[in-house]
Amino acid sequence: MSYPYNATQTAQSRVEVVNAFMRGVYGWMSLGLLVTAAASVYVVSSPALMQAVFGNQIVFFGLIIAELALVVGLSAAINRLSAGTASGLFLLYSALNGITLSSIFMVYAQATIFKAFVVTGGMFGAMSLYGLLTKRDLTSMGSFLFMGLIGVVIASVVNIFTKSAMMDFIISCVGVLVFTGLTAYDTQKLKVMGQTAPADDATAVRRGTILGALTLYLDFINLFLMMLRLFSGSNRN
């Protein structure tokens, strides 16, 4: 009778590991969003900082390049970083992103930003919960969503020059679909990662939670920006 008991005990232990892993992912993601929000509000509240960041193209594009370098570097070197370094780089990226995202307060009304954030939070929560609970394998969605993401990026670059309002609307609609899909897909992928996480290696688990937090953080931010563009309409400042 000991074998069934041991098997059940092992299964329960693995469920606890997965739950702890996902709590870590959501916890770090939430902290990253808080840092981003705090950095944005701090910059907006200081005219001197606003002028320093957005009044000098070298500074602004330097921040953008630093953000890209942090995302690529953190994702590529995550297995070689200490838990503390990985956590620090993620929070640094969140802060830099908050500084550059403060520009939305120059373009959109606060009511529009708030509405877009609330709707994004609801959509993200629903799709992430779906990714956690569904028994459907979402792996096949990965390549389709990636192609959609590439299409959104290319169309966005082209629209910088064409400045088509209709194209902007279409890009935003497709972007919302892509990032809601990616939220569910990435959540399920992280759940699988948690199922294979080494329970006896705290450093490896922390690295995984940081990488997962970064993944969902990017899904949330991009979904928020797409929703913001959709909601802007006549509410622009």
Note the pLDDT of residue 237.
41
For residues 236, 103, 157, 189, the Cα torsion angle rounded to the nearest 10 degrees is: -110
**Per-residue model confidence (pLDDT) at position 234:** 44
96-100, 150-154, 159-163: which has the minimum mean pLDDT?
159-163
Give the tens place of pLDDT for each residue, 128-160. 999 999 999 998 888 899 999 999 999 988 888
pLDDT digits (tens, 9 = 90+) for 213-235: 999 999 999 999 999 999 885 44
Q: Judging by beta carbons within 10 Å of its beta carbon (0-12, 13-18, 19+), is residue 188 exposed, middle or buried? A: buried
Residue 119 near residue 83 (C-beta atoms within 8 A): no
Average pLDDT over residues 102-117: 91
Q: Does pLDDT of 94 surpass 50?
A: yes
Residue 38 has pLDDT above 90, yes or no: yes
Give the mean pLDDT of 170-195.
93
- Residue 8 has what pLDDT? 52
Phi and psi (nearest 5°) for 115? -60, -45
Query: Which long-range contacts link 104-111 to residues 24+ away (Cβ below 8 Å)?
Result: 104/40, 104/225, 104/228, 105/40, 105/44, 106/50, 106/54, 106/237, 107/232, 107/236, 107/237, 108/228, 108/232, 108/235, 108/236, 108/237, 109/235, 109/236, 109/237, 111/235
pLDDT band at 45 (very low <50, low <70, confident <90, very high): very high
**Average per-residue pLDDT for the chain:** 88
